[in-house]
Amino acid sequence: MTDTPVPPQDGPRELLSANRRLSLRVRQAQRGTWFPLLLFAALTLASVPITLNSHHAIDCRVSAAERVCIAFSPGSYVYWPLAMVLAYAAIAAFYLRRARSRGVGTRVRPYVITGVLIALAATGVSLWLVTHPGVVGYPLAAGSPATMFLNRLVSPEGAIGLALLVLAWVERNRALLVFGLVYLVIVSFGWVLTLHSPWAFAVIAAAVLLLGGIGFALAERRAGRSAA
């Protein structure tokens, strides 16, 4: 009887380590994080003139200290649902094309479906809030931190951030998870800096997305080069 030694690369530790390396390579090949970030940055910037041109105050009420109005931009209620649906269609096409060219499958479907659902739900909730004055203390409590937080979370910028968390899960991308959470914090509490300027708020959100998109594009490029 002869004893066949196990080749060193077939030891359990080496096999598991090779396994992890291969999993990481597949994930890197599947990722295309920069594309949705840059696309949403462009859409957010493009929304500024639409919001400004159709912006007007409705249902103003006077409290003891101040006069509070519901700001309504009919144009943005048409622009955002349309832009979101088209954007997610473009993202799905981008990921499918990329997967085909790289030779790996893609798991983008949950992100696209959740993104569209969140965008439509957020539009519905925010439309409902402006058409039902008086509900949950709105608009008299409109300046309160809780109302502003809710308002920003159901804004298109908030919907983009929530869907980014789903993309982080789909891509198993910790860096994107951290970015998504930071972005959501900025979106949710950015009103402190831009209370009276909805366009400044959109510009800040777009700038964060743009910087994130550029950062992820550079990181993906570097990872691709080091793997080659």
Q: In the complex, which residues of this chain contact another protein (CB under 8 A)?
A: 7, 9-10, 12-16, 18-19, 22-23, 25-27, 29-30, 100, 102-107
Q: Give min distance, CB of 51 to another protein, in A.
A: 40
Gap between the Cα atoms of 39 and 107, Å rounded: 19
Q: Give min distance, CB of 111 to another protein, in A.
A: 15
Cα–Cα distances in Å, from 75 out to 9, 19, 60, 85, 88?
62, 51, 20, 16, 20
Q: Which two tokens stand for residue 225?
A: 């080069």
Q: Which residues contact 105 (CB under 8 A, 6 or more apart)?
A: 30, 99
Nearest to 198 by CA among 82, 40, 55: 55
Closer residue to another protein (CB): 31 or 152: 31
Q: Give min distance, CB of 181 to another protein, in A.
A: 25
Q: Give min distance, CB of 54 to another protein, in A.
A: 44
Gap between the Cα atoms of 137 and 90, Å rounded: 39
